[in-house]
Chains A and B, each alone.
Chain A
Amino acid sequence: MKNSNIDMLAKDILKNSYLEVTDPDFNITTMKKILHESRKQYVLENILLSFLIFVAVDALIFLILWLSGLNIFELAARFIGIPHEILFHVKELKSSIIENAFIKYVMLSFGVVMVILMIIESKLKLFGRLK
């Protein structure tokens, strides 16, 4: 008998060795695991992204302030005295907060990070990442 015929018969015989998954919930369970994994990846990616943006924005603002002649590390020392001023020098506090470079820096960086995150989130929605 020809080798090809033996092969054909083997194929015919082994066709009956196909096995079906018997668990009726197999697809649901598998997809649950996959969707959970997908969400995990999404959250992790976003945390990393947020962290990177925060660091980058911090560095940028620090550079801008430094170029403007403001050293936030020196001025931060003044920030420590604020609780004292809250109690005794409310008026002075107002100007202190407004003029304090450190406060400005924190508020500015927070604002910029929030805006960037909002833009990214809307972009991700566009590309279907949040489906």
Chain B
Amino acid sequence: MEDLYLRLVLEGNASKFSYFVDKYKGMAFSIAFRIVDNREDAEEIVQDAFLKAFRSLDKFRRDSKFSTWFYRIVVNSSLSRARNKRPELSNIDAEDIDDVVVESVESAYRSLDLLDQKKFVNQALEELSIEDRLLLTLYYLNENSIDEITEITDITQNNVKMKLHRARNKMYNILNKNLRLEIKSILS
């Protein structure tokens, strides 16, 4: 299906590009937002990324998925916008997490309603570095493979694995801390 739309756009039927806009805008926005941390900026970046993708569609080699190629444009545009915007400070514990932490996060998290779950996960992501957020979003939310993440971010495979592992641990530690505080505030 995607190939058909690609062919139509390349043959000059520009209006068919709306298929890609509709399909990828949500995830592209999620990725851009995790990097620039601002809704308006993220929307602008995604629009520009679609335009860039359209302009260079003839250069798109089909050895990777369109989404991988497109998300790479989104990530690069977002990173250049985010550069110098805010300092990268993330000194959260990335040590291996034990079962107790995971289980306590799971039970506390499951006890929350959907809105609160969203609130806590967004809060946790905000406390992470841009790179950590990006890797977690690509791997766990967008379900990209390690190979695809390597292509999107230009980080080596081994580094992606290592950074992803650390980012996941950090997220659990933040969630554990925040959910505990929440439970304490409810109980007190």
Residues of A at the B interface (CB closer than 8 Å) are: 1, 5-7, 9-11, 13-23, 26-27, 29-31, 33-35, 37-38, 41-42, 124, 127-131
B17 & A19 in contact (Cβ 8 Å cutoff):
no
Could you give 27 example pairs across A and B, Cβ below 8 Å?
A9-B106, A10-B171, A11-B140, A11-B143, A14-B121, A14-B136, A17-B30, A17-B121, A19-B29, A19-B30, A19-B33, A20-B26, A20-B29, A21-B25, A22-B39, A27-B21, A29-B47, A30-B25, A30-B47, A30-B51, A34-B17, A34-B21, A35-B14, A35-B15, A38-B14, A38-B54, A128-B13
Contacts of A6 in B (CB 8 A): 97, 102, 168, 172
Cβ-defined partner of B141 (8 Å) among A17, A23, A38 = A17
CB of B43 closer than 8 Å to a CB of A: yes
Closest 7 pairs between A and B when the two form their complex, measured CB to CB: A38-B14, A129-B12, A14-B140, A1-B99, A19-B30, A16-B118, A11-B140
Contacts of B13 in A (CB 8 A): 128, 131
A31 & B17 in contact (Cβ 8 Å cutoff):
yes
CB B168 to nearest CB in A, in angstroms, measures 5
Given contacts A21-B25, A37-B55, contact A13 B15 (CB under 8 A): no
CB of B154 closer than 8 Å to a CB of A: no
Cβ-defined partner of B121 (8 Å) among A16, A30, A35 = A16
A15 & B141 in contact (Cβ 8 Å cutoff):
yes
A59 to B43, CA, bound (A): 51
Dominant SS at the B interface? Answer: helix
Contacts of A11 in B (CB 8 A): 140-141, 143
Determine the residue in chain B with the shortest Cβ distance to A11.
Answer: B140
Determine the residue in chain B with the shortest Cβ distance to A130.
Answer: B12
Cβ-defined partner of A13 (8 Å) among B21, B55, B114, B121 = B121
B25 & A18 in contact (Cβ 8 Å cutoff):
no
Contacts of B122 in A (CB 8 A): 17
A57 to B47, CA, bound (A): 42
Given contacts A19-B26, A19-B29, contact A131 B15 (CB under 8 A): yes
Contacts of B118 in A (CB 8 A): 16-17
A17 to B97, CA, bound (A): 22
A15 to B109, CA, bound (A): 13
A6 to B46, CA, bound (A): 31
A21 to B137, CA, bound (A): 16
CB B91 to nearest CB in A, in angstroms, measures 21
Q: A30-B47, A33-B47 are in contact. List 9 more A-B contacts (CB 8 A).
A: A10-B171, A11-B140, A13-B117, A15-B141, A21-B29, A34-B21, A37-B51, A37-B55, A41-B55
A23 to B33, CA, bound (A): 14
Given contacts A1-B102, A21-B26, A37-B55, contact A16 B43 (CB under 8 A): no
Q: Mark B126-140, 1 if CB is under 8 A from A, else 0.
A: 000000000011001
